[in-house]
Structure 1
C-alpha cells in the first residue's frame, strides 16, 4: 500500500479528501493528517509518505515552501497541490517544484481517482527499477559507494541510521510477510518463492514476536540474519538469513530461525570421500553417512553444508565439477528432506563403488544427442540439472557431459546458460517484465546468480543491457 499524508488548515477539507474515494481499493493508505505546513513538514520527516496532498495557503509554512523543503530531504516523496484558487501562477510554481498535479477545490472524484491511478502505476515502475538497482548494489557492493546505496534505500522509504542498523529476513514461500504497521522495511524478490526483507534493527524483536504468534501459511521457513551497521554488509545478512530460512530442509518442520554460527566443518567428510575414491571400500560409505548424521544431531549441519555435500558426492562419482547445483532451492526442490538426500547419495556411492553403474554404450544412435538437446530446449525455463536430465533419459551423467563436449564443443552447463541468457535478452527487449521476473522466467532460481551470470555473459548488467538496446532501437 502507498502511504498518503493529507495537509490542510481546514479540517473539513481533510475529511472531504478522506471520503471522496476508496483509498484502499486504489492501493493507498492514509497514514496521517496535518493542519498546517510546519506540522506537515515534521510528519513528512517522521513518516516518509509516498504521496502528500497539501494546500497552498497555510499558516506557518505555505504549500510551495513545504514542497521545496521536503525535496531537500531526498526521499522520493511526491506532492499533489490543492487550492480553492484556480490561478495559473500557483499551478506553474507547484509543477516547477515537482508537484504531480494541481487540484482545485471542491474536489472531483473522477479527477482524484485518475491522478491516484496514474501515480500508482508510475510508482510501481519506479520502485521496480529501484529494487533492481538495490539488488545490483548489494551483489556488487565494491562497485558502489555507501552513499549511493543509502540514497536508493531512502527513495524506497528506508532511512538508514548507523547506530541502529538493519536486519535481513528471508522468507521461503509464496505468502508475503505480515509486517506490523509502522515498521520501516524494504522487500525484494531474490528468487522463485524467495523474498528478502530489510528491516530496521530496533524492530527485530517486535517483528519476531509478531511472526511467532501467527501460523505460517504458504511459508516453509523464515530466516533472520544478524544486525549490521554498515550497509555494505547487508548482503552477508541476506545470505546468512537465507541459510537459516532453509532450516526446514534439515529439521523437516516449518519455522523461524536466527542465523547461527558458521556451519559445520566438512573436512572429515572430504577425507572419507578421498579414501573411498582411493580404496573403493564401501564400508566407508556408512562411515560417511554416520559422520553427516552426527553433524545434523549436533545442530551443525545447514543447507549450505547439504549443497556442498551433494556437489562433492556427484563430483566424486561423475567427476563433473562444472555441472553443480548453484542454489538452495534446487536442492530443496529435488529432495523434501535432508534424510532423503542422504539416502540418495548413499545409494549413488554404493552403486558406483560396489556394483558400479552400467556405463552408457560408447556408441549410441545419432538421435541421442538430439533428444538431450530437445529436452533442454523444451524445459530450460524450469529447474534443470545434468543429473535430472540423465535420470529422465536413463543415461549416465558422465556420458551426457562427454557427449556435449564432443557434439557441441561446450559443456552441458554452458549450453543451458547460453539458452537461458538468450531468452532473458529477448524478454528484456520485447517485454516490460521486471528484471526479477525475467530472471525467473528464464529458468534461474536465484536472482543474485542470474545477475552475476548475465553480467559475465554480456559484459553489463541486465538493466544496462535493456537501456542500451532501448536507446539503439530509438535511433532507428
Structure 2
C-alpha cells in the first residue's frame, strides 16, 4: 500500500477526505494527518508518505511552502494541492513547485479517484528506486541494509524467505513482466533493465508462464539462483542480470537460467589469441577467433564471457589497463553489436588492421588536434564515446589517441570520462533532490546501476546514497 498524509487546518476537511473514497481500492492507505505545515513536516519524516494531500492556505506555513520544504526530507514525495480557492494562479504556482494535481473543495469523489489512479501509475513505475533498501544493499552490503531489506520482505508478505528462499529475476527491454501479482520488490536499474525479488514458489510459477507466453517488448529474462542469505542478494542479482542478456548470444528472446560454462576452455583460447596478436600471426589469429566463436555457438558461454573477450582483446591491442575500463556494461555491448558473432567479426577486423599497420608512433607533445579531441570529450562526456568513434571523427589511430590521453592528461581515455561523469553526478546529487540515483546514473551516461554505484564508491569513497545523505 502507498502511504498518504493529509494536511489541513480544518479537522472536518481531514475527515471528509479520509471518508470520501475507498483508498485501499486504489492501493493507498491514509497513514497520518496534520493540522499545519510544521506538524506535516515532522509527520513526513516519521511515516515517510508516498503522497501528501495539502491545503494551500494554512497559518504559519502555507501548502506551497510545505511543498518547497518537503523536497528536502530525503525521499521522494508526490504532492496534491487541495483548496477552496479556484484562482488559476494558485494552481499554476503549485504545479511549478512540483505538485502533481490540484483539487478543489468541496471534494468530488470521481476527481479524487482519478488523481489516485494517476498517482498509482507514477508510484508503481518508480517503485523500488530511490529509497529502496535493495538499492542500499546493492551499493553497500552492510548489516543495516540487510536488516532493512529483511523488514521490507516481511512487510510485503515474503516472511518465509529464510527457509523457502527468494529468487532474483532481471528483465531486459522496454516491456513489463506479466503476472506480477502478490508480494515482490522491484528495482529499476536502468532505462531498459529491472530487477525483482520474488518468493521461490512464485518465481517458479511465473517463469513457467513466461516460457509459454513470453512478455512483449522484452528481450530477455534472467532467473537467478534462489538464496536464503541476504548477504548474497547482490551477487544473485548480478547473476540474473548476466542471464537476462543471454539473448545477445542465442539470438532469441527467452527465459534463461544458469548452466555450466566452459570457463577453462575460453581461458586457453584467449591465451592463444594473446600470443597470436603478439606475434602478428594471421593464421593463428584466425584460428583463435574461430575456436572462440565455436564455444559461443555451443551455448557454452555467457554474456559475461563475451564482455571479457571484447575487453581483453582491446587490452591486448591498446594496453588500456583493466578490462572493464573499455566497456563497462552488458548494455553497452548489446547496443554496440547485433549479436556476439557480429562482435567477434568486428574484433577480428580490428586485430587484423592493427597487426598489419605496424607500430603506432609515440605520442607527441600537446597539439591542436588533441586539444580539439579533449574539448569534444569534455563537451560530450554524457554521451556514448569510444576511441574508435574519436578515431573516425578526428582521423587518428585509436591507439595513438589512447596514448595521448595518458601522456597529456595523466589518465586513460575512459578514466578521464569517468572523472567528468562522477563530478557531474556529485553536482546532481547535491542540487537535484527530485532525481533518483538511477536517474542520475542515466543522465551522466551510465545505463548500468551496478557499474555506476561501484565506480562512484571507488572514486569518492562513498556510495551515491551515502553521499546524498551526508549533504542533507
Q: What TM-score do you get using the length of structure 1 for normalisation?
A: 0.71
Aligned pairs for 1:33-112 (under 5 A) are 51=29, 109=108
Report whether the alignment pairs 1:138 with 2:116: no
Deviation at 1:169, TM superposition (A): 0.9
Cross-structure match for 1:453: 455
- C-alpha separation between the residues in 2 aligned to 1:17 and 1:157? 29
Report whether the alignment pairs 1:233 with 2:232: yes
Aligned pairs for 1:361-372 (under 5 A) are 363=364, 366-372=367-373
* Aligned-partner SS, 1:229: coil
- Alignment check: 8 A CA contact 1:174 1:193 kept: yes
- C-alpha separation between the residues in 2 aligned to 1:197 and 1:126? 11
- In 2 relative to 1, CA 286–214 (structure 1 residues): closer, same or farther, beyond 3 Å? same
- Alignment check: 8 A CA contact 2:130 2:438 kept: no
Aligned pairs for 1:17-416 (under 5 A) are 21=21, 30=25, 51=29, 109=108, 113=112, 128-131=129-132, 133-142=133-142, 144=144, 146-154=146-154, 158-182=158-182, 184-262=183-261, 264-265=263-264, 266-322=266-322, 323-353=325-355, 355-356=356-357, 359=360, 363=364, 366-416=367-417
The range that moved more, 320-329 or 107-116, is 107-116
- C-alpha separation between the residues in 2 aligned to 1:434 and 1:452? 17
- In 2 relative to 1, CA 262–293 (structure 1 residues): closer, same or farther, beyond 3 Å? closer
* Aligned-partner SS, 1:51: strand
- In 2 relative to 1, CA 122–307 (structure 1 residues): closer, same or farther, beyond 3 Å? closer
- Alignment check: 8 A CA contact 2:261 2:302 kept: no
Deviation at 1:329, TM superposition (A): 0.9
- C-alpha separation between the residues in 2 aligned to 1:139 and 1:357? 44
* Aligned-partner SS, 1:163: helix
- In 2 relative to 1, CA 358–465 (structure 1 residues): closer, same or farther, beyond 3 Å? same
- C-alpha separation between the residues in 1 aligned to 2:280 and 2:377? 34
- In 2 relative to 1, CA 347–29 (structure 1 residues): closer, same or farther, beyond 3 Å? farther
Deviation at 1:140, TM superposition (A): 2.9
Higher relative contact order (CA 8 A, sep 6+): 2
The range that moved more, 445-454 or 204-213, is 204-213
* Aligned-partner SS, 1:410: coil
Q: Deviations over 1:131-155 (max 9, x none)?
A: 2x42231343256464343124445
Q: Deviations over 1:50-86 (max 9, x none)?
A: 62799xxxxxxxxxxxxxxxxxxxx999999xxxxxx
- C-alpha separation between the residues in 1 aligned to 2:154 and 2:383? 36
- Alignment check: 8 A CA contact 1:273 1:316 kept: no
- Over the aligned positions, Cα root-mean-square deviation in angstroms equals 3.8
- C-alpha separation between the residues in 1 aligned to 2:160 and 2:373? 50
- C-alpha separation between the residues in 1 aligned to 2:411 and 2:330? 26
Deviation at 1:29, TM superposition (A): 6.0
- Alignment check: 8 A CA contact 1:153 1:159 kept: yes
- In 2 relative to 1, CA 273–321 (structure 1 residues): closer, same or farther, beyond 3 Å? same
Q: Deviations over 1:247-291 (max 9, x none)?
A: 111111211111223453322222212321443221111211221
- In 2 relative to 1, CA 212–401 (structure 1 residues): closer, same or farther, beyond 3 Å? same
Q: Deviations over 1:346-366 (max 9, x none)?
A: 11122222x226846855882
- C-alpha separation between the residues in 1 aligned to 2:389 and 2:259? 32
* Aligned-partner SS, 1:170: strand
- In 2 relative to 1, CA 136–390 (structure 1 residues): closer, same or farther, beyond 3 Å? farther
Deviation at 1:111, TM superposition (A): 11
- C-alpha separation between the residues in 2 aligned to 1:395 and 1:293? 30
Deviation at 1:411, TM superposition (A): 2.2
> Which of 1 and 2 has greater Rg?
1
- Alignment check: 8 A CA contact 2:171 2:221 kept: yes
* Aligned-partner SS, 1:162: helix
- Alignment check: 8 A CA contact 2:3 2:51 kept: no
Count of aligned positions:
389
- In 2 relative to 1, CA 112–349 (structure 1 residues): closer, same or farther, beyond 3 Å? closer
* Aligned-partner SS, 1:30: helix
Deviation at 1:409, TM superposition (A): 2.3
Cross-structure match for 1:420: 421
- Alignment check: 8 A CA contact 1:3 1:30 kept: no
Q: Deviations over 1:166-206 (max 9, x none)?
A: 11111111122223423x21110223311111111111221
- Alignment check: 8 A CA contact 1:150 1:160 kept: no
Task: Give the unaligned 5+ runs of structure 2.
Answer: 5-15, 33-46, 53-105
Q: Deviations over 1:365-416 (max 9, x none)?
A: 8221222222222332223333443344332222112211222222222221
Task: Give the unaligned 5+ runs of structure 1.
Answer: 5-15, 32-48, 55-74, 81-106, 471-476
* Aligned-partner SS, 1:428: helix
